[in-house]
Amino acid sequence: MHIKNLYEPFEIEYLETSECPIVAHKHNFFELVYIVEGTGMQCINKNNWVYAPEKLFLLMPQDCHSFKVEKATKFFFIRFNDVYIKEQNKEWIKRLEFIYQNHNRLPGCILKNKADKPLVKSLIEALIREYINQYPYQKELTQQIVNTLLTVVARNIALTTPEVLKNTETKDLSMLSYIHRNIYSPELLKAEEMAAQFNISPTYVSEYFKKLTGESMQQYITNYKLKLVETRLQYSDMRMNEIAFELNFTDESHLNRIFKKYKGISPSAFRKQKIAAVVN
């Protein structure tokens, strides 16, 4: 299996090809693939998806994918790695963090909101113009457009989050979305606040949540916070005490204890493991 690496924090590529197939490979970076023209099949982690014009795919680090081109295709690739992510502000990192944690809920093309398709098309066309013309400030403008595009991606994921729910056929995800939005504000995740938000009795919040997800609300919040910790350990240079403070652990030792309890490894060992995997 060929593994591709990205040696710059950020790059874009505009490729026209009739080659069949583009062989399976993995890479150690994030990639957005937009189909400008053409048709064919894309295989992502052994799942096949038809591609056609105006479809947008998101590939995560270590995803295995290939293309089978049926009709000559114009691909537009946007690639970025953890160095690029670390250069962004915290709000942008949180947006990417949301994409990273929830991307696998959207199989195939990630543009589920039809109203966003013309917006994405115009953003891609602007990126192609910048790529071809190479005008002054091309890099800075390209980065701004890409960040806007990623915001659209995050919105599409937020609008369609089909959780696999247990013990219920009602896929009411408003409570889960509320937790995701307010994970950095623990005061908003108390039973009383949740009850007021969803117009149910405070004494019924825990029971309702367990029926919805199959686990307690506190357990769900802990698991989600630990996913965010993993993302920060892997894709940021934040110190342990900074991560603990931002995600409202009591202190660094509390974070270490909880992380090791649930993950079987310390946060520092987890970070070293991920860094070693990228280097190798």
- Whether 35 has a pLDDT exceeding 80, the answer reads yes
Of 59, 52, 56, 45, the C-alpha closest to 110 is 56
CATH number of 2-159: 2.60.120.10
Per domain, the residue ranges of the chain are: 2-159, 174-279
**Residue 214 backbone zone (phi > 0: left; psi -120 to 50: alpha; other: beta):** left
The secondary element (H helix, E strand) that includes residue 173 is none
Mean pLDDT on 228-254: 88
What the block records as the tokens of 36 is 């400008």
Contact, 29 vs 96, CB < 8 A?
Answer: no
Residue 9 confidence (pLDDT): 66
Per the CB < 8 A criterion, the answer to whether 235 and 82 are in contact is yes
**Least confident window among 1-5, 33-37, 265-269, 271-275:** 1-5
**Predicted local confidence at residue 171, as pLDDT:** 38
For residue range 133-190, list pLDDT tens digits in order: 988 988 889 888 988 998 888 788 776 654 433 333 333 457 877 887 788 889 999 9
DSSP of 30-75, one letter per residue? EEEEEEEEEEEEEEETTEEEEE-TT-EEEE-TT-EEEEEEEEEEEE
Instruction: In whole angstroms, give the CA distance from residue 59 to residue 105.
Output: 13
Contact 179, 222 (CB under 8 A): no
CATH of 174-279, one of 3.90.1640.30, 1.10.10.60, 3.40.50.970, 3.90.76.10: 1.10.10.60
- Which pTM was predicted? 0.59
| Nearest-angstrom CA–CA distance, 235 and 270 | 12
Closest by alpha carbon to 124, among 95, 152, 151, 146? 146
pLDDT, mean of residues 218-227? 90
Contact 232, 271 (CB under 8 A): no
Q: How far apart are CA 9 and CA 122, in angstroms?
A: 24
> CB under 8 Å to 219, separation ≥6 — which residues?
none
| Residue pointed to by tokens 């800075």 | 140
CB 221 within 8 Å of CB 179: yes
Amino acid, res. 264: G
When the pLDDT of each residue in the chain is averaged and rounded to a whole number, the result is 80
User: Tell me, what's the pLDDT at 170?
Assistant: 36
For residue 271, how many other CB atoms are within 10 A of its CB? 18
d(CA 195, CA 177): 15
pLDDT of residue 240: 94
Contact 240, 268 (CB under 8 A): yes
Give the pLDDT confidence score for residue 248 in this predicted structure: 92
- Residues 213 and 201: their CA atoms lie apart, in Å, by 18
Token output for 127? 């990126």
Of the given ranges (1-10, 132-141, 226-235, 238-247), which has the lowest mean pLDDT? 1-10
